[in-house]
Structure 1
Amino acid sequence: MPELSQETERERSLLPFVGVAEVTGPSMVPTLQHGDQLVVHWGARIGPGDIVVLRHPFQQDLLVVKRAVERREGGWWVLGDNAFAGGDSTDYGVVPEELVLGKARLRYRPLKPGQRSPLAAVRWALSAVRPVLPDRSASRRLRAR
């Protein structure tokens, strides 16, 4: 089985339908980086191009972050934005609808421990929080196979 890339080991609930998930791994680079925090709308309506949190089809205690590419018979075809990382529908096929848990609404990039200078803090403040929009794959890898 290929190494999984975009898992989250923890989820925290802010409100009944909103939570926070941490990104680990390279499968959504350059859109999402290792260590990014996602504000997730659990149970949201999913559309093509949305970044979603889902249960891995073969290891359901593992949450995975991928981009929903298209609706197919039996569920969603999902891909990572990093074509070289794998661990998406090209490996495990269509993801059943009930395994897709929610949609990422906001990305928060935490301040790194070494970023203490005023200039680094300003740069971080200008780029730390961004909305997660559909069809914004920085790698333009939104085609189904």
Structure 2
Amino acid sequence: MRASFSFLDADIQTALSGSQLTLVDSQERKGMSAMRVRVEGESMSPALRPGDWLVVRRRARVRPGDVVVARLPGDSATMIVKRAAWADGDGWWLESDNQRAPGRRDSWDFGAVSASLVVGRVLFRYWPPRRGALRRAGH
């Protein structure tokens, strides 16, 4: 793996999305290729759990089955963590792994998400350690 990631030590802000509360680095500087995200909420269980910390590669190529971070349609200040199910002419269909999670919001609620709202692809979970690798759906 190339060591080209820059981790921001900036202040952290809270971005709310129903039960998908995520903490995202508040500064999005040009040239930064990665960001860190903390997951809260159960919508991505069992793959992701509240308290998991993720490394997200900005503007990375997305394939069906990848876990991505996107801006919530209609509220671009809010970021969500979802699985990219498929792409169509309108953008990406993003789904929760746990459709029964309280407060979950995904493409079943707001439709396909424009590719311009997809911030990046989750590369790996770095916290907590010893919790297995995050895998693409179907692998």
Query: Which TM-score bucket, shorter chain as reference?
Result: 0.7 to 0.9
Match of residue 45 from structure 1: 61
Quick one: percent identity of the two aligned structures? 37
Within 5 Å, give how 1:50-61 maps onto structure 2. 50-61=66-77
Provide closer, same or farther for how the CA distance between residues 58 and 52 of structure 1 changes in structure 2, counting only shifts above 3 A. same
Q: Which runs of 5 or more structure 2 residues have no equivalent in the other structure?
A: 1-16
**Runs of at least 5 residues in structure 1 that lack an aligned partner in the other structure:** 111-124, 138-145
Indicate the RMSD between aligned Cα atoms, in angstroms: 2.1
Partner of 2:13: none
1:33 to 39, 49, 52: 49
Structure holding more helix per residue? 1
Alignment: residue pair count: 118
Give the match's secondary structure for 1:52: strand
Q: Deviations over 1:119-144 (max 9, x none)?
A: xxxxxx5x14x44321159xxxxxxx
Which has the higher Rg, Structure 1 or Structure 2?
1
CA gap 1:131/1:43 in 2 versus in 1, 3 angstroms: farther
* Pair 1:90 & 2:104 matched: no
Correspondences of 1:58-73 after superposition (within 5 Å): 58-73=74-89
Q: 1, 5, 8: which is aligned to 2:22?
A: 8
SS of the residue aligned with 1:9? strand
How far off is 1:6 after superposition?
A: 2.4
